[in-house]
Structure 1
Amino acid sequence: MPTHFHKKPNMYVSHVQIKVSNLDRSIEYYKDIIGFDVLVQDEKTAVLTFDGRTSILSLEQVDNAQPLAGGQTGLYHFAILLPTRKDLGNFIQHIAQKNVRIGAGDHHVSEALYLYDPDGNGIEVYIDRPEDEWIWYGDSTVHMVTEQLNIQSIMADGDGQWNGLPEGTVMGHIHLSVSDLANTEKFYTEALGFEVVCRFGMQALFISTGKYHHHIGLNTWNSEGGKKAPANSVGLKSFTLVLDNAEQAEQIKKNLTAMGAIVEQYEGAPKFGGAQLFSTEDPSGIRIIFTLEGE
């Protein structure tokens, strides 16, 4: 897979923090179905790993948890990027044996499966096609579609050896449900420095750094004009963006302040993905944590 898109100097998503209603049930799902192990766990939280060292996903149980509701902003899905097509083939064989219901799509730049965890949090598991096969219009727009996925072809690349998420797995991207696309585009491009690389009409756009097909997807399909979910709702708690250097961090802080966003020092516990610098909320109330720790 193209690996440089999830390393510095690109700004990329390194970690996602999910709220769940039953921690034990969610741990069982993410271990048995998705292929994580538990790195650190206490009564209300679990930090998940695939290599015994790093984490791309953590879970937090909320009290009196409210289910996901339509018309709210937050997570559309987070997307786990596997290293090879063989890995995806093995994953498909694995979930077929587990009788898990999935969706699927061929996006030309990638081949993807879609699942939901026990609380309805959206998950994508995908691979990238080789970068030289992506089609760019000019230097700014990448060709992305949703067509039928050739699942049999991918399964044929597998060897039946699924032993959990493989070494080299990363958090490929996150896709968010937002309330206002224009305000959201302004926030992510002008304050944070992302570039728009694809638009789907007036209701969805995709942004990245370093000419990836997308590090973040944004849509209003089910959330236009919506409010953020209550604190005790299941769903997205936060996601982490890796910054390149301290100068970039200071510039983003200035941009956020000028835009009227509140910038806070972030004290996360347990810590994951390195030291946190600061956090903010996007125009839809979605919490973003910024760190310098990353590859």
Structure 2
Amino acid sequence: MVQQSIHSDTVLGEVHLKVSDLERSLRFYQDVVGLRVLTQAANRAELTVDGIKPLVVLHEISTANIVPRRSAAGLYHFAILLPDRRSLGLSLRNLIDSGIHIGQADHLVSEALYIADPDNNGIEIYRDRPRESWTYDAQGNVKMATDPIDWDGLLKEAEGHPWTGMPVGTIIGHIHFHVSDLQKSKEFYCDILGFDIIANMSATMGALFISAGGYHHHIGLNVWAGIGAPPAPVDGTGLKYYKVVVPGEQELQRILANLRSGGYAVTEQNATWIVKDPSQIELRLTLQSK
């Protein structure tokens, strides 16, 4: 199969998470993260920033086991992209006020904060630096690092401004997975779906960063839970599924044809096309709404 890059306007849609206590999670995602409830049912809630589209959807499994970190293939973290640095500073101040443990890193292309929800679902909250400031090595890999963040500078950005939750313009920027086999994952996401490798760190740190349209990454793949890591248990917390949003019918049909010729079972449900990657991580393809 000759790889054809996925359409450059491809983005991520909402992330669906399994949680063990919906009310507890709602308090966390509203008070700590800064999302708002869009809809709520007995065991499901949609969270939003704009009151129109869901960003994160919570599904309660009251008997769920909380999956220990780095114990299975599945979610490492999902990443919420804020529109500007001031918004990240405001989020940082609120996270500090909440008393939650905060990880942090300056990735050169972005500044990132890391937290976990009450069910161990990893969350990154970040802002991008302008794309024209990104640099690349001789192999064309975007240069990323894990330098200390400018904590004081971020808080300075927020001075004099109230925190009112995450602002309109916030999106799911990327998602990062533990996978059981990096090569098989590369074949699925790059050779079949068409994501481009933007940073190949497989030899140095067991990770690949892939994207559409030259972004620093829409999807991260790593084997940090161990090569051959088992799929996350169905009745455990973690990712239920995530959405990949493609911009046109022609692109959708190209991807579906590649999946079927690659031997992947695809099912349609409510105008989404459901498939599982080689690590049994479920994604749903959907068309951009007009």
Provide the TM-score with structure 1 as the length reference. 0.91
For the residue of structure 1 that corresponds to 2:14, the secondary structure is strand
Report the residue type matching 2:223 in the other structure. T
Equivalent residue number for residue 28 of structure 1 = 27
Question: Are the aligned partners of 1:9 and 1:243 in contact in 2 as well (CA < 8 Å)?
Answer: no
Equivalent residue number for residue 56 of structure 1 = 55
Equivalent residue number for residue 4 of structure 2 = none
Report the residue type matching 1:10 in the other structure. D
CA drift of 1:294 comes to 4.6
Matches within 5 A, 1:69-218: 69=68, 70-137=70-137, 140-159=140-159, 160-202=161-203, 203-218=206-221
Q: Distance in 2 between matches of 1:9 and 1:147?
A: 29
- List per-residue Cα deviations over 1:12-60 (Å, max 9, x = no partner): 2121000000000000100000001110110110000111111111000
Which ranges in structure 2 are unaligned for 5 or more consecutive residues? Answer: 1-6
Query: Are 2:246 and 1:243 aligned?
Result: yes
Equivalent residue number for residue 270 of structure 1 = none
Question: Are the aligned partners of 2:114 and 2:124 in contact in 1 as well (CA < 8 Å)?
Answer: yes
- The alignment yields a C-alpha RMSD, in angstroms, of 1.4
* Runs of 4+ deviating beyond 4 Å: none
Q: Distance in 2 between matches of 1:80 and 1:219?
A: 19
CA drift of 1:139 comes to 7.9
Q: Distance in 1 between matches of 2:86 and 2:66?
A: 35
Question: Are the aligned partners of 2:102 and 2:114 in contact in 1 as well (CA < 8 Å)?
Answer: yes
For the residue of structure 2 that corresponds to 1:56, the secondary structure is strand
Q: Distance in 1 between matches of 2:265 and 2:168?
A: 37
Paired residues, number? 280
Matches within 5 A, 1:7-22: 9-22=8-21
Report the residue type matching 2:176 in the other structure. H
Query: Are 2:271 and 1:279 aligned?
Result: no
For the residue of structure 1 that corresponds to 2:169, the secondary structure is coil
Report the residue type matching 1:62 in the other structure. I
CA drift of 1:71 comes to 3.0
For the residue of structure 2 that corresponds to 1:10, the secondary structure is coil
Q: Distance in 1 between matches of 2:166 and 2:65?
A: 30
- List per-residue Cα deviations over 1:195-223 (Å, max 9, x = no partner): 00102243101000110000000001114
Question: Are the aligned partners of 2:21 and 2:62 in contact in 1 as well (CA < 8 Å)?
Answer: no
Range with greater deviation from structure 2 (255-264 or 62-71): 62-71
Q: Distance in 2 between matches of 1:200 and 1:251?
A: 28
Question: Are the aligned partners of 1:84 and 1:127 in contact in 2 as well (CA < 8 Å)?
Answer: yes
Report the residue type matching 1:25 in the other structure. R
Question: Are the aligned partners of 1:178 and 1:226 in contact in 2 as well (CA < 8 Å)?
Answer: yes
Report the residue type matching 1:228 in the other structure. P
For the residue of structure 2 that corresponds to 1:52, the secondary structure is coil
Q: Distance in 1 between matches of 2:65 and 2:97?
A: 31
Report the residue type matching 1:186 in the other structure. E
Question: Are the aligned partners of 1:178 and 1:284 in contact in 2 as well (CA < 8 Å)?
Answer: yes
Distance 1:193 1:110, change over 3 A: same
- List per-residue Cα deviations over 1:261-293 (Å, max 9, x = no partner): 1101124xxxxxxxx331100000000001112
Provide the TM-score with structure 2 as the length reference. 0.93
CA drift of 1:137 comes to 3.1
For the residue of structure 1 that corresponds to 2:190, the secondary structure is helix
